[in-house]
Copies of this chain bind each other. A is one copy, B any other.
């Protein structure tokens, strides 16, 4: 699908839109530099560079915010809205861009420049102290920073405001998943938890259990890296327009479709983690690389929401990376990469080992069935923090108590407990539920891709993944922010979001593996 934007824009009316587009590209260029600073901080920056990095990031955040919320931008948007040639057809590229810029402008102007600078600086510092505290398993080091983060987020929520009957959490979630409220998330999560619990109990109680042999091998990190680079390349992450590095917490930074950086991590005794992390971040990266270059810096060249973003990462990680046909190909590559170290593993050992279900402490290492429980716990705690009902000092206990209740496990320490994730240290609250929404969108979009391409999964067995990537390019990536998440889902799958595809995906696969 090729767009040819702006063809209908007449020269007499183009000035306001051209100026607005130029302004948007400019502040988004600043934002892309901020992203690079974050990437560098996580992957390359020397430890003592942190304070100056904080100043750099805060300065750019203030500059971008000032540019994006200045009066002139408001005037340009209003002028475009008033110009029928530009926005009379609400489906035109320009009308969509203007409408999304309007939404962002109205939201952005609610935040003072001081709060923006404060958030940028706090995020940099809190993240740094989080990393140190986590490495030392010393929650006391992180606690004061988390309190600052809670306080800042509460003030931000106040500034944004929330709808009648809503709560502070809603105000923040809007940045990550437009239209998402805590009440709605709860209404999705509660029945999902019950269905997942039932499936989990069945798996745990079954007399058929997959072999754990794959997860017991120790494999050299350099070969693991070669292996995940092979997978990344095969599934379509473009290394001429991206990089793969190592960081504590894997992430993806897209500065522009031509420069997308993903990270992963390696542990000698956990190849599955490296594969899962890499394919996950590749999914994010392939989305960013699939955005329209001609719309870079404009809403139509930007991803929809974190939920949709996560649907892309989870799809490559789970629907593809834990599938039978993927491992038909990958198992052969595994043998040729690691040789004797994996010679004793059967196909069933590997495929089963990649799909073991077991409650554990770490979200990013969690299997598909328990993963969403981790999210539900974080969501509950965030809501409380933002209501002022949970302080940093009480987070470890609240965390550990829920892990006992929902997953039946005792958290061994805070490093593997409430300090495992980077998000809160980045000042990001209202973000976590997008992971579970991503799982739901992922399963539903994947079913639609399979319906459209009945041979899709057969290709994986031959190391061919182009059909899925192309379907995602055409049905998700190229639209940018044209549709909101719910509408995009309906356009691409013909149905509103439902938990059924995820439960079908998990139920089908796990029934076979666990002999349910």
Contact = CB atoms under 8 A, between A and B. Distances in A.
Interface string A44-57: 11111111110110
Contacts of A259: 45-46, 48-49, 52-53
A56 B37 contact: no
A33 B52 CA distance: 10
Across the A-B interface, the 5 shortest Cβ-Cβ residue pairs = A49-B259, A52-B256, A48-B258, A48-B241, A48-B240
Given A29-B59, A40-B40, A52 B255 contact: yes
A109 interface: no
Contact of A56 (B32, B44, B52): B32
Contacts of A242: 46
Contacts of A40: 36, 40
A172 interface: no
A249 interface: no
13 contacts: A29-B55, A36-B36, A40-B40, A46-B240, A46-B242, A48-B241, A48-B258, A48-B259, A49-B255, A49-B259, A52-B296, A53-B259, A56-B255
Contact of A37 (B33, B46, B52, B256): B33
Given A26-B59, A52-B255, A52-B256, 8 more contacts: A29-B52, A36-B36, A46-B239, A48-B259, A49-B258, A52-B259, A53-B259, A63-B63
Interface of A: 26, 29-30, 32-33, 36-37, 40, 44-53, 55-56, 59-60, 63, 238-243, 255-256, 258-260, 296
A238 B46 CA distance: 10
Nearest to A57: B33
Contacts of A256: 49, 52
A258 B37 contact: no
A260 B44 CA distance: 12
A59 B40 CA distance: 20
Contacts of A240: 46-48
Copies of this protein, total: 2
A167 to B, nearest CB: 38
Given A30-B59, A55-B29, A44 B243 contact: yes
Nearest to A32: B56
A28 B238 CA distance: 35
Nearest to A45: B259
A199 to B, nearest CB: 41
A59 B32 CA distance: 12
B243 A52 contact: no
Contacts of A243: 44-46
Contacts of A63: 63
Contacts of A239: 46
Contacts of A30: 59
A36 B55 CA distance: 14
Contacts of A32: 52, 56
Contacts of A52: 29, 32, 255-256, 258-259, 296
A246 to B, nearest CB: 13
A68 to B, nearest CB: 14
Contacts of A296: 52
Interface-central residue, A33, A50, A240, A260, by most chain B CB under 10 Å: A33
Contacts of A47: 240
A502 B448 CA distance: 75
A53 B123 CA distance: 25
